[in-house]
Amino acid sequence: MREEIRLGNEAMERNDFETARQYFQQLLSEGGTALQVRIAENRLRDIQDHMDALHDPPAVKTRARRKTTGGKKATTDEPPHKVVRPPEKPIVVIRKH
């Protein structure tokens, strides 16, 4: 592994993206194997994505309020429904055939 890739990776671990960018761009300007160039290009793309995320935070959607059709709730004189609970110990009948 080339020294520039190692130093660039270490700088990225320290969140020093400007120094990491310099190392990877140095590798691209000097040239290297196809694999080294691809690694440097990918790291530069990662750095750019990270910097874009810092400068442009994602837009936060505001929640839409639910619209009511009738305005205020109509009051009625009817009592609410009565809740019927089952007995605590239900009787179970088992019939043999």
Q: Which two tokens stand for residue 80?
A: 């609410």
DSSP-assigned states of every residue in 15-52: T-HHHHHHHHHHHHHH---HHHHHHHHHHHHHHHHHHH
- Distance of alpha carbon 97 from alpha carbon 79, whole angstroms: 47
Q: What is the pLDDT of residues 34-91, one digit of tens each?
A: 999 999 999 999 999 988 887 776 667 777 777 766 555 556 667 777 877 777 877 7
Q: Which two tokens stand for residue 56?
A: 């442009």
Q: Which two tokens stand for residue 12?
A: 């990225």
* 8 contacts 34 by C-beta, under 8 angstroms: no
What is the per-residue pLDDT for 69? 67
